[in-house]
Amino acid sequence: MNRLTTLTLAVGLAIALVPGFASAANKCADPHGSIEQRACTMAAAGPDALRRFIQRTRAIYQLYYPDYAPRER
């Protein structure tokens, strides 16, 4: 690979990783909107309920399970 290709891959990888680190907080700490409130209600009902809700509505809302699942310590 030449330098430009290597640099492009490195920058692309860095950009891809930033959203994961930027959304480190659980969205249920301060839900915005009715969809996030519904997802937080499902998270409180348990991991299976949350997973079903996210899978059923994935084409509409594009929610991610780790954003709403309780953090393990």
50-67 pLDDT per residue, tens: 999 999 999 999 999 999
pTM over 0.85: no
Q: Does 27 map to a domain?
A: no
Q: What is the three-class DSSP state of 7?
A: helix
User: pLDDT tens digits, residue range 6-52?
Assistant: 768 776 666 665 554 444 468 888 888 999 999 999 999 999 999 99
Domain hosting residue 58, numbered range: 33-73
Q: Does 4 map to a domain?
A: no
Q: Does 69 map to a domain?
A: yes
Q: How many domains does the chain have?
A: 1
Q: Does 52 map to a domain?
A: yes
pLDDT of residue 6: 75
